[in-house]
Structure 1
Amino acid sequence: MPTKLTLFFDATCPLCVREMRALKRQDHSNAIVLVDIFSDRFDDFPEIDVASASEQLHAYDDKGQLYTGLDVTYRAWRIVGKGYLYGFTRWPLLRPFCDWLYLRFAKHRYRISGWLTGRRRCDQCRID
């Protein structure tokens, strides 16, 4: 199956890596390509600023449309058949609050990772 989503994420964040591992376990058709924003592969996407990509997830769909934040999370999980996990975050009444909460989480993800995993960062966490 061709790539449906190219998702840019922070592989130095233990929680981010856990989410990407879970996503890839469900991606039986390899429809999602993961690109670490601190890797050499990210250089192939100069139109995305690393600072912006560090503030929230970014992804391109197969038509070249750019998505950010929870739109990325929802699309990725929908591709693997589990969109219901994040579908509520896109409901019109909840969307503004969920987006606000996500941005707060993303800003403090290293601290939250430390609380939840015991590791604030890793040099280069492995997805596989």
Structure 2
Amino acid sequence: MELRIFFDGNCPLCSAEMRQLKARDPDDHIELVDLNAENFSSRFSYIDKDYANTILHGETASGQVLLGLDVTCKAWALTGTRPWIQVLRLPLIKPLADWCYLRFAKHRYRISYLLTGKARCDSQCQLPK
């Protein structure tokens, strides 16, 4: 595992992106952890679940915590796909991209509803075990 991602499994768009990531991760560089898992707080007591629900959290193999688009960019880089996403970390683009990401994260359930017809996941959105 090179990157552990703590994601909101109740969000249809978040779950869809995690499925896409794992489909492109045959060597298991990425571990996915649903913030809503029963044992989340006991397994990852060092991650503030409420804060992680406002901004995507990731943890590297060395223990470094990444936030927001830094997680997304690291994850896609590990898959070797979607290299264009790295543009979001360029110095002139990063502040605007981060601002947009935070707005998306705050309104992800509404955006999910507009795009998918579902605000929250049911059993059909869950990642395969």
The normalised TM-score by structure 2 is 0.93
The aligned residue for residue 63 of structure 2 is: 64
CA RMSD of aligned residues (A): 1.1
1:88, 1:77 → 2: CA distance? 12
Report the identity percentage: 48
Paired positions, count: 126
Give structure 2 stretches of 5+ with no counterpart.
none
How far is 1:41 from its partner?
Answer: 4.1
Amino acid at match of 1:106: A
Alpha-carbon separation, structure 2, partners of 1:105 and 1:34: 20
Q: Alpha-carbon deviation of 1:83?
A: 5.2
Partner of 1:88: 87
Cα drift, residue 66 of structure 1? 0.4
Shift of 1:94: 0.2
**Larger CA deviation: 48-57 vs 99-108:** 48-57
Cα distance in 2 for partners of 1:18, 1:83 equals 16
Structure 1: stretches of 5+ with no match in the other structure: none
Q: Pick closer, same or farther for the CA change 1:45–1:27 going to 2, 3 Å.
A: same
TM-score computed with the length of structure 1 as normaliser: 0.94
Amino acid at match of 2:126: R
SS at 1:38 equivalent: coil
1:29 to 27, 31, 37: 27
Per mean C-alpha deviation after superposition, the further-off stretch among 34-43 and 85-94 is 34-43
Aligned ranges 1:1-128 → 2 under 5 Å:
3-43=1-41, 44-82=43-81, 84-124=83-123, 125-128=125-128
Residues 6-60 of structure 1 show CA distances to partners (whole Å, capped at 9, x for unaligned) of: 1000000000000000000000101111000010342211111111100011011
Structure-2 separation of matches of 1:109 and 1:69: 13
Q: CA deviation at 1:61?
A: 0.4
